Chains A and B, each alone.
Chain A
Amino acid sequence: MAKAQDKILKTQEITLNMGPQHPSTHGVYRCILTLDGEYVTDLENVMGYLHRGMEKLAEDRTYTQFIPYTDRLDYLAAILNNVGYVQAVEKLLDIELPERVEYIRVIVSELQRIASHMVYIGSYALDLNGFTGWMYTFRDRERILDLFEMITGSRLTLNYPRIGGVSHDLTDEFMKGLQELVDDLPACFEEYDGLITGNEIFQSRTKGVGKLDAETAINYGITGPNLRASGYCFDLRKNQPYGIYDRFDFDIPTGENGDSYDRFIVRMEEMRQSLRIIKQAMKDIPEGEIMAKVPKVIKPKAGEAYHQIEGAKGWLGYYLVSDGTTKPYRNHIHSPSFVNLGVYPEIARGGNIQDAVVILASIDIVLGEVDR
């Protein structure tokens, strides 16, 4: 007869690789999970699979030549990257923009923010096995991409703003399409709420999962919707306005618990606020030039500029150092996804594997931006 001791099950921690090829990592990101049964005791980020050396490439390109590279940072929000970059160069050059350019940039930026959040909401639902959510958000995002195609000729890598302006003016066709979209979007958001937000499975899988308090978030440098979901009300468009954002009337949605559910809700509400901004900009947009008077050869005097904008995923910052030539001496990109990933191990620890997937989806990362 076996002794009682031998019957006791021996357990030990195991190490599990998630990624780099894994659907819920949204690209080529890998994390090393240390598991105790189904519970995550530790997690380590491994990134760099998509590293293309953007900052090094920038040193060998002129200021204008680098604009299309910024498309490939956060490829779901290309215009926001473009705008952040050209505004940094404009800060270095110290030039004033025509009114119409500022309005066009606000309209396309906010459209892009809505498109980016739609991918977030769709893929979030998909990661939780709700395939329907994905179909609906992508149906509507398609219309935004169609609008972009009208004015830029492309759908993802838009390369639209220029240093001192934008490449093409908004057409009547675009304005008509935009008006129709603006009229339809509130009903679309209602639909997402019905399909995803109100879904009981969605709520029970996200509420209380991956809690992040405001103090920890700030310590980890978390910005954008993730910071606001933790209950800290701070939006660069409001608190430190760039461009003409101080002219618009909109609210900053915040969460209460800082859990995965709040991170979702904040983005749902942000889409509605972006729509408000677009409506105001459409009403006020003046006629005029779409390019400022910019020298043919962009040659900023020696110096440096740090510019940041409220990107779709957080604060996107560019640190440009000029040595007085036509090429940037140093171009550092502060990418929100990269910094936001830093807090992932902290909030995933203690949960189970399914929760780790939910938390990663709720942080909203894009690997083009993480790895640069």
Chain B
Amino acid sequence: MDKQIKLVEKLAKKFKDKVAVLEEEPGTLYVNKDDVLDVMGTIKDKYHFNMLLDSTAVDYEEKMVAVYHLMSLPECDQLKVKVNLEREDPRLSSVVSLWAAANLMERETYDLLGIIYEGHPDLKRVLCSDDFEGHPLRKDYKVEARR
């Protein structure tokens, strides 16, 4: 964990106003919505984070947060990157051009939480059926219990 915090501090210095680090979450790098591709591209190429472990999102009711877990296989480091999004219109650029793994993960996040990844080659539902309405993992989604 200390290794992660140090890395985040280093990255915060490098990217300056494109990123932010919260006091209560020292091991997490918050990236501005518009700088996602730029920052993530540099992290991948210059810091060897060659694997996208996980891409998902959390609905905090007042906002949406896209969460990325990155991994550098050569150095065995992990990095958590978050992006704050407006809940009404959650949009950010897709990272499929950096990691092909994002293709399915972003489709899943779109399907379950309704986040629009701009520039994704084929953004459509993957787990729910095509005619499904709504995004089930949003907190305001009403589950109809069938007993």
- Mark out the residues of chain B between 112 and 147 whose CB falls within 8 Å of any chain A CB in the assembled complex: 112, 125-129, 136-137, 141, 143
Please report the total number of B residues contacting A with Cβ < 8 Å.
31
**A261 interface residue, CB < 8 Å from B?**
no
**B52 interface residue, CB < 8 Å from A?**
yes
Q: Nearest-CB distance from B123 to chain A (Å)? A: 14
A330 and B58 contacting across the interface, CB-CB below 8 Å: yes
B54 neighbours in A (Cβ, 8 Å): 306, 317, 319, 332, 334
**B32 interface residue, CB < 8 Å from A?**
no
B100 and A306 contacting across the interface, CB-CB below 8 Å: no
**A342 interface residue, CB < 8 Å from B?**
yes
**A123 interface residue, CB < 8 Å from B?**
no
B126 and A221 contacting across the interface, CB-CB below 8 Å: no
Residue of B58, B104, B128, B143 near A51 (CB, 8 A) is B128
Q: Nearest-CB distance from B146 to chain A (Å)? A: 13
Q: Nearest-CB distance from A175 to chain B (Å)? A: 35
A332 and B99 contacting across the interface, CB-CB below 8 Å: no
**A12 interface residue, CB < 8 Å from B?**
no
Chain B residue with Cβ nearest A222: B101
B101 neighbours in A (Cβ, 8 Å): 219-221, 339, 342
A55 and B137 contacting across the interface, CB-CB below 8 Å: yes
**A66 interface residue, CB < 8 Å from B?**
no
Main secondary structure of the interface of A (DSSP, over half): mixed
A308 neighbours in B (Cβ, 8 Å): 53
Known: A221-B101, A334-B54, A339-B105. A239 touches B76 (CB 8 A): yes
**A338 interface residue, CB < 8 Å from B?**
yes
Can you give 21 A-B contacts (C-beta < 8 A)?
A47-B126, A48-B125, A48-B129, A51-B128, A53-B136, A56-B143, A218-B50, A219-B50, A219-B101, A221-B100, A221-B105, A306-B54, A319-B54, A321-B58, A330-B137, A334-B56, A339-B105, A342-B101, A342-B104, A346-B100, A371-B127
For the A-B complex with A53-B136, A221-B51, A342-B101 known, give 15 more contacts whose Cβ atoms are closer than 8 Å.
A48-B129, A51-B128, A56-B141, A219-B100, A219-B101, A221-B99, A221-B100, A240-B76, A306-B54, A306-B80, A317-B54, A319-B56, A319-B69, A338-B108, A343-B100
> Which 10 A-B residue pairings sit nearest by Cβ, starting from the closest?
A221-B101, A48-B127, A51-B127, A334-B54, A342-B104, A332-B56, A219-B100, A220-B100, A330-B58, A220-B101
